[in-house]
A and B are shown apart, each in its own frame.
Chain A
Amino acid sequence: MTIQRARAIWSGLRFFLIKTWRRWRWSVLRTCNGRRFQTVVLACGSGDRSYRNDLGRRVTVWGCNFAYRNSPQMDRIYAMDHIAEWLERSPGWTDNVNDLGIPVVMQKHFSEVPKSTPLNLAGLRRFPGTRDYYINTICYMIADAIREGFGTIVIHRILARVGSIEYMEQKACLDFWAGVAHGLGIELLTSEDSLIGHPYPWQSNLYGYVIQDNWPISAQLLSHGVIDACRVPVKFHIADEVYGQRSATD
């Protein structure tokens, strides 16, 4: 039992030392490179360019996938789907992003997009250092904004529509990354219509205190939906980049 206790203490101490070192290093770096005083707007819709003036600070705008259509002044594009999917589904996309002449963060460098750069997955694993949990492109963007040390992250018009097929099941993951950012003291702003950090529209803010007459119905409907979803056979084919970068850090 004593050995077990000693192991537990050592494990805790090791965690504390590693975390403290990485956090201190991150904090110093972001202050030195000025990112702490900068704002990044993560967008996939329209209107985000106005923040350049409204926020009154140095603002960087990152967009995902087709965001450049609405905001031509993007500083960086994130497109985490494989290039084969882009070529198959949207053949003109590569030409469009190439014309922009801005960095395009992708899984790795693809010759079809000369300005494409690989996402620093190994860096994300070091800091913020949470487990791999990225279920859409926005999650990678938030994690990267945290890693780069921005003082303010604006999530613009993401998760704004309850019935959207794109983002509803991704809410938990977006909330997760919002929580990480907030815990690190990063100012997190969302557009008013966003559901990030809010309960689902049919839920109350405070379970128990506010009595929901219809709670069992929504819970049962959802759980049946989940059961149906789990019945769909899903097999993952993992890209080499994930394990390649993992072995590089571990």
Chain B
Amino acid sequence: MASAAPLTEPLGRLTAVKWLIWSARRLLTGNRFRTVVLVGRLGGDLPETDETWGCNFAYRTHKGLDRLYAMDPPEDFHKAGESWWFAEADTLGIPVVMQYPVGGIRQSCGFDRDGLRKTLGLNVHHQGSVAYMLADAIREGFGTIVLHRMLERGLSEEYYEQKDCLDMLAALAAGLGIRVLTTGNSLIARPHPWQSEHYGYETHPRSAQATRMITETVRDIVTDRGDPGAGRLPQDGL
């Protein structure tokens, strides 16, 4: 008889006590009845909202942001020749959430990495600055979260790597009773462009070919990636 494989809780555990405290807090702060719109670099009309949060260079496209997220290492801005970003972010006069407070930006503050775990007992991975914004919006208990023009292009370099994380966080929010809205073309909580949303009911004879292509690519990456621990730990010690 085969033995059972050990079990883990990949996403942590949401206890009733934590859920109650989170629910009470969002009611008391009023966030339960508020809407936050998360924006990226892509423009377009924004819906009427209580707060607008942007990431990285979003302030150039959208005026009147209430908060800015920039989760890449601050050194990377210098390396990429974008040191001017610090001066521009400083002049915005809004909170700028980064890995840690940066001297050049008076209102910069560090992201609370343990926030979701402490508040809701969640162990989620974060891929991309948008994931950090979304996690914060969930933690703060907004009633509606609008993901404005996120993950619209399946051909984007960031698309495939970030989709699972954004799907999971959006689902988590939906499960918690938060209303999650996306713009029309967004691929969040939608299948990949070559997949059907009703497996089995919809026949798609050629999508198997697409599946094989992706799998071959994944196998190439896994084979070629070399040292699995190639990532370097940050200076503040994770």
Chain A interface (Cβ within 8 Å of chain B)?
A: 4-5, 8, 12, 15-16, 19-20, 23, 46-51, 54, 70, 80-82, 107, 128, 130-137, 139-140, 154, 156-157, 162-165, 168-169, 171-173, 175-185, 187-194, 196-214, 217-230, 232-239, 241-242
Q: Are B214 and A168 in contact (CB under 8 A)?
A: yes
- Minimal beta-carbon separation of B77 from chain A (angstroms): 12
A-B contact pairs, 24 of them (CB 8 A): A15-B179, A80-B199, A134-B198, A137-B199, A140-B200, A162-B218, A165-B211, A165-B215, A179-B168, A180-B174, A182-B11, A182-B12, A189-B8, A192-B5, A208-B71, A209-B113, A211-B231, A211-B234, A221-B220, A226-B159, A229-B192, A229-B210, A233-B206, A234-B207
Segment with Cβ contacts to A, from B38-46, B87-95, B122-130 = B122-130
A208: B residues at CB distance < 8 A:
71-73, 99, 126, 129, 132
Given contacts A178-B11, A238-B198, contact A211 B73 (CB under 8 A): yes
Q: Does B85 contact A (CB under 8 A)?
A: no
**How many chain B residues touch the partner (CB < 8 A)?**
102
The residue in B170, B200, B210 that gathers the most chain A C-beta atoms within 10 A of its C-beta is B200
Residue in B127, B163, B171, B203 whose CB lies within 8 Å of A207: B127
Q: Does B80 contact A (CB under 8 A)?
A: no
Residue in B144, B197, B215, B238 whose CB lies within 8 Å of A133: B197
**CA–CA, A176 and B180, complex, Å:** 13
A221: B residues at CB distance < 8 A:
217, 220-221
B127: A residues at CB distance < 8 A:
199, 203, 207
Residue in A165, A184, A190, A217 whose CB lies within 8 Å of B7: A190
- Minimal beta-carbon separation of B125 from chain A (angstroms): 4
Q: Are B11 and A226 in contact (CB under 8 A)?
A: no
**CA–CA, A216 and B213, complex, Å:** 19
Q: Are A47 and B203 in contact (CB under 8 A)?
A: no
Q: Are A223 and B156 in contact (CB under 8 A)?
A: yes
Residue in A192, A204, A220 whose CB lies within 8 Å of B157: A220
B160: A residues at CB distance < 8 A:
222-223, 225-226
> Which of chain A's residues has its CB closest to B210's CB?
A229
Segment with Cβ contacts to A, from B13-21, B59-67, B101-109 = B13-21
Q: Are A191 and B210 in contact (CB under 8 A)?
A: no
> Which of chain B's residues has its CB closest to A224's CB?
B217
> Which of chain B's residues has its CB closest to A225's CB?
B217
**CA–CA, A218 and B171, complex, Å:** 26
- Minimal beta-carbon separation of A100 from chain B (angstroms): 19
Q: Are A107 and B201 in contact (CB under 8 A)?
A: yes
**CA–CA, A236 and B230, complex, Å:** 41
**CA–CA, A222 and B220, complex, Å:** 10
- Minimal beta-carbon separation of B233 from chain A (angstroms): 7
The 3 closest A-B pairs by CB, nearest first: A183-B175, A197-B10, A179-B171
Q: Are B202 and A165 in contact (CB under 8 A)?
A: no
Q: Are B159 and A70 in contact (CB under 8 A)?
A: no
**CA–CA, A242 and B9, complex, Å:** 34
- Minimal beta-carbon separation of B30 from chain A (angstroms): 14
- Minimal beta-carbon separation of B135 from chain A (angstroms): 11
Given contacts A12-B144, A81-B200, A232-B206, contact A51 B169 (CB under 8 A): no
